[in-house]
């Protein structure tokens, strides 16, 4: 029985090469491998000029700095999400003034919901973003009268 290929190996190889070429130098390892290959296979009669080598080392330093910055930004993002979550929980049972399209509304924070890792308050049965809160007060005790009333 004769079997024919449905996809040539050239097409697969071209796809893989295109896929790899479209991905940026995402890692320090890839950069170092590329730099080592360039040094290893350079023409001895026409070596890399000093200024080119220094430029490549500068790119390497920039890549390290960008990776460190990215790592710090990820940490800051995690801390911010944690802080927002804590902030939402601290408002449970508090009375808040909220800015809505209809004006300012006052209500009691009944709960906190999370969507995509971001907290939102439940006030009067409505989902409210933390940024809509204008003022926070300690809620008055239920069933209690004004101070001085009998």
What pLDDT digit, counting tens, does each position of 11-57 carry? 444 444 444 544 554 566 777 787 788 777 777 777 666 677 778 77
Measuring CA to CA, which residue among 60, 55, 119, 52 is closest to residue 84? 119
Q: Is the dihedral of CA 38, 66, 72, 121 positive or negative?
A: negative
Tokens linked to 27: 């890692």
Q: What is the mean pLDDT of residues 79-102?
A: 87
Of residues 60 and 72, which shows the higher confidence score?
A: 72
Q: Distance between CA 145 and CA 12 in Å, rounded?
A: 79
Min mean pLDDT across 6-15, 54-63, 83-92, 134-143 is at 6-15
**What are 120's two structure tokens?**
């939102």
| Spatial separation of the C-alpha atoms in residues 29 and 63, rounded to whole Å | 11
Closest CA to 96 of 57, 61, 67, 126: 126
Task: In whole angstroms, give the CA distance from residue 113 to residue 137.
Answer: 20
Q: Tell me the domains of the chain and their CATH numbers.
A: 9-81 (no CATH), 92-138 (2.30.30.30)
Instruction: Report how far residue 90's alpha carbon sits from residue 56's, in angstroms, rounded to the nearest whole number.
Output: 51
Residues 6+ apart with CB under 8 A from 35: 56, 60
């Amino acid at each position: 029985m004769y079997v024919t290929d449905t996809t040539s190996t050239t097409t697969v190889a071209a796809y893989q090469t295109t896929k790899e070429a479209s991905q940026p130098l995402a890692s320090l390892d890839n950069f170092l491998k590329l730099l080592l290959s360039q040094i290893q296979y350079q023409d001895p009669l026409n070596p890399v000029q000093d200024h080119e080598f220094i430029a490549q080392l500068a790119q390497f330093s920039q890549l390290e700095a960008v990776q460190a910055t990215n790592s710090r930004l990820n940490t800051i993002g995690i801390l911010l999400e944690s802080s927002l979550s804590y902030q939402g929980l601290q408002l449970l049972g508090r009375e808040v003034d909220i800015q809505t399209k209809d004006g300012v509304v006052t209500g009691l924070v009944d709960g906190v919901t999370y969507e995509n890792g971001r907290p939102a308050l439940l006030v009067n049965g409505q989902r409210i973003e933390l940024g809509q809160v204008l003022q926070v007060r300690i809620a008055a005790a239920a069933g209690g009268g004004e101070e001085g009333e009998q």
